[in-house]
């Protein structure tokens, strides 16, 4: 029974039916109905996605607001004040030192020492962020700041001594 399908329809054994006049119109209305139902399904699909995103955003906001950083303790506020005071003094002394001295080798030498202290300071501050109420970390941070400030004061004294020697030598030779 192997037949070519095209050959089956060439025979006139099958009656040809004429379509009713309203067939085209009925077909188009049915086709529009199918398109509209697909559009409605897509609309609800996107509506579900949007609602899911909004729920996730709301949950994230709620989680963030409940887990916000706790208020700083009195110790932390006091420590920040001390830290800022030291940093201001260090910067002021350093700029005064740079203005006074002409020796670039001396500036470079002390700058390296300050950089070493600064890297230690950064390590200690990261430890402080991990353990904010650890007294040992706070003391080591304050000690580091004091050492840096003392280093700059020593530099200044060294410069003053050098300047006094120069002026005393000049007066002797004159």
**Measured between alpha carbons, how far is 45 from 50 in angstroms, rounded to an integer?**
9
- Domain check: are 91 and 49 in the same one? no
What's the total number of domains in the chain? 2
Residue 18 has pLDDT above 80, yes or no: no
Distance, CA of 174 to chain centre: 64
- 81-90 mean pLDDT: 79
Which of 52, 68, 84 finishes a domain? Answer: 68
- Per-residue pLDDT at 174 exceeds 50: no
Mean per-residue pLDDT for 118-128?
A: 85
Q: Are residues 32 and 111 in the same domain?
A: no
- Is residue 172 pLDDT above 50, yes or no? no
Domain contains 2:
no
Is the separation of the CB atoms in 106 and 47 below 8 Å? no
pLDDT of residue 1 exceeding 60, the answer is no
- What are the tens digits of pLDDT across the range 45-64? 888 888 889 999 988 888 88
User: Is 5 contained in some domain?
Assistant: no
Confirm if 97 and 156 have CB atoms less than 8 A apart. Answer: yes
User: Of 22-31, 110-119, 161-170, which gets the smallest average pLDDT?
Assistant: 161-170
Q: In this structure, are 52 and 89 located in the same domain?
A: no
- Domain extent, residue 141, equals 74-173
90 with 108, same domain?
Answer: yes
Residues 96 and 120 in one domain: yes
């Amino acid at each position: 029974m192997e037949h070519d399908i095209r050959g089956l329809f060439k025979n006139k054994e099958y009656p040809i039916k004429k379509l009713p006049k309203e067939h085209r119109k009925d077909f188009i209305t049915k086709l529009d109905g199918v398109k509209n139902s697909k559009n409605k399904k897509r609309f609800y699909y996107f509506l579900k996605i949007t609602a899911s995103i909004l729920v996730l955003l709301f949950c994230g906001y709620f989680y963030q607001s409940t887990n916000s950083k706790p208020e700083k303790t009195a110790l932390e506020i006091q420590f920040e004040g001390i830290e800022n005071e030291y940093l201001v003094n260090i910067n002021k002394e350093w700029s005064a030192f740079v203005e006074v001295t002409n020796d670039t080798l001396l500036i470079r030498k002390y700058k390296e020492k300050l950089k070493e202290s600064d890297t230690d300071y950064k390590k200690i501050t990261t430890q402080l962020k991990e353990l904010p109420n650890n007294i040992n970390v706070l003391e080591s941070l304050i000690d580091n700041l004091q050492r840096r400030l003392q280093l700059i004061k020593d530099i200044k004294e060294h410069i003053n001594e050098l300047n006094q020697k120069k002026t005393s030598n000049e007066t002797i030779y004159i």
